[in-house]
Amino acid sequence: MKTLISLALLGTLSAGAAFAQQTTGARVDFEASTGPVTVQSVQPPLPNASDYDATVAQLDKNGDGVVVRAEVPESHALASEFRLVDTDRNGRITDAELAAWK
Q: Torsions phi, psi of 91, nearest 5?
A: 80, 5
Q: Is 29 left (phi over 0), alpha (psi -120 to 50) or beta?
A: beta
In our burial notation (b when 16+ CB lie closer than 10 A, e otherwise), range 64-84 reads: eebbbeebbeeebbbeeebee
Residue 20 has pLDDT above 60, yes or no: no
Most confident listed range (20-24, 36-40, 43-47): 36-40
Range of weakest confidence among 22-26, 50-54, 80-84: 22-26
pLDDT at 21: 44
Model-level pTM greater than 0.75? no
Q: What is the mean pLDDT of residues 69-85?
A: 94
Domain spans, the chain: 49-101
pLDDT at 24: 55
Residue 62 has pLDDT above 70, yes or no: yes
CA distances from 94 to 29, 46, 65, 99 (A): 35, 24, 7, 9
